[in-house]
Amino acid sequence: MIPVKDFRNSQHPPGTLNRPRMSPEKPMPSAPHRILVVEDDTKLGRQIVDVLREAGYEPTWVQDGRAALEAPLASFSLIILDLMLPGAHGLDVLKRIRETSDQPALILSARNETSDKVRALDLGADDYVTKPFWPEELVARVEARLRRPTLTRSGVIETGDLSLDVAARRVLVAGASVELTRAEFDLLAALARRTGAAVPRAWLLEHVLDPDREGTERTLDVHISRLRRKLGSAGRHIVTVWGVGYRLEAGE
């Protein structure tokens, strides 16, 4: 098992962590991704900012939930959100963010219980990193999330040979139109909004399916099975995350 480095208990003074460096084959982007870091611990927040900046990103750091909610979220490519924040719990902040924004969110927390992780995913988190962690792990998670396509509330997403237009409620596979039922389309759109992230069954049942007619896990599984079959070759992008729910994987 690979050991993890605890930012808080590091014996290295600030600024001397063994941070990841950009390889010669991976030049700095001309327009770096902007990342909002929400972390109340001063030492940890400063080190996260330093690590992200060295990795080629443009971090903005705030130390409480209110400042995060007042930030121009649409201008950031990713939000890194601590759970234990002064004045407001991180999950409450995440819930408020999800009311108006689909920006990817990565949770930082010292809590590693499965129930906490599922709750965070249920509220719209895209990833969950448990403290302590290596700086390299955080950068790798950020890079992985930013490689995935993000669907805006009125946009189009393409993953592999699958294309989804939410506004027009149109699905194409290899350029050919695919007819889906309301439930099938809404399930695909819900997964596409968080491409690459596991979406819990409970969330899909509560927010996508009709609770009066379709509110069972068996019904959800049937819809997913039919959706995969209708999508043909693109159906392989919908994978089961055992014990959690489903995930739409990013295609080539």
All structural domains of the chain with their residue ranges:
34-147, 156-248
34-147 with 156-248: one CATH topology?
A: no
User: Which residue type does 29 have?
Assistant: P
pLDDT one-digit tens code per residue, 29-65: 446 889 999 999 999 999 999 999 999 999 999 999 8
CA-nearest of 26, 147, 198 to 190 is 198
- 156-248: which CATH topology? Arc Repressor Mutant, subunit A (1.10.10)
pLDDT one-digit tens code per residue, 58-108: 999 999 988 988 888 888 889 999 998 887 788 899 988 887 777 889 999
Nearest-10 Cα torsion for 55, 61, 66, 68: -30
> What's the mean pLDDT in 119-129?
84
Using DSSP bridges, classify how beta strands 170-173 and 176-177 pair: parallel, antiparallel or unpaired.
antiparallel
Instruction: Indicate yes or no: pTM above 0.75.
Output: no
CATH class (in words) of the domain with range 34-147? alpha beta
Query: What tokens does 27 get?
Result: 């030049």
The answer to whether the CB of 220 falls within 8 A of the CB of 209 is yes
